[in-house]
Amino acid sequence: MTIAPDDARRDSSPQYRAMRDVVQSLDDTLPGKFEVTKEGIVHDMMSPGGPHEVTAAHVSRRLERVMPDELLAHNGTPDVEGEPEGIMRHPDVMVIAWEDLDVEGSIDPRTVHAAVEVVSRSNPENDWVGKMRDYALLGIPVYAIFDPRTGTGAVFTDIHATPDGPRYATRKDFVYGEGVTIGEWTIPTDGLPRYRDEESGQDPTSG
């Protein structure tokens, strides 16, 4: 994970800077993904490869087939970081312009057109609850979730103000096999892998 420049650090709280330093120190020594949220450090024990990574790769490639050349569906480093909000996240895929990716340190969330997450078997609430909250707080206009546990997903848009802060107002669900629209681009979802050794999970935000 990457660290923002020193001038950006001065605008963040000491508690957030401490958590970010811990995340950096753990990132290369322990498996999984570490992120900083309003609730503290989140550790997602995702395993490398398998349906999670294959889904992210498929989504990235399918988006890039229909997007203009100045944009890419990036699934590498660095992190997306909102210093004032005290949030540092690492989307599985983010739609961003090439010029906005070419920066030192973390990505400014205001330059991200869309964030995509593939639900983890180890911590599904991180994607369905925590990231849905945090990406709205960061001002990312589109958040798409693909859930290999159930073969379903959802796209969240239309950030609006609430007593608890910015939240997505619109949710559009989809089932694998349907086309899904992420921002201005529609991609197929057929052929995406499912988790084979997991009982069918439920979306914590449904019902």
In this structure, is the dihedral angle defined by the CA atoms of residues 145, 30, 75 and 11, taken in order, positive or negative?
A: positive
The model's pTM: 0.78
- Which pLDDT score is estimated for 1? 33
pLDDT digits (tens, 9 = 90+) for 107-137: 999 999 999 999 988 889 989 999 999 999 9
Q: Which is more confident, 66 or 49?
A: 66
CA dihedral defined by 200, 56, 92, 145, rounded to 10 degrees?
A: -50
Residue range 89-100: mean pLDDT, rounded: 94
What are the DSSP E strand ranges found in 28-150? 33-37, 40-44, 71-74, 80-82, 87-89, 93-97, 112-118, 143-147
Tally of CB atoms within 10 A around 68: 10
Task: Decide if pLDDT at 2 tops 50.
Answer: no
Task: Decide if pLDDT at 3 tops 60.
Answer: no
Nearest to 88 by CA among 162, 182, 163, 15: 15
- Which pLDDT score is estimated for 84? 79
- Which pLDDT score is estimated for 104? 84
Range among 71-80, 87-96, 161-170, 198-207 rated most confident: 161-170
pLDDT digits (tens, 9 = 90+) for 55-64: 999 999 999 9
Q: Which is more confident, 2 or 171?
A: 171
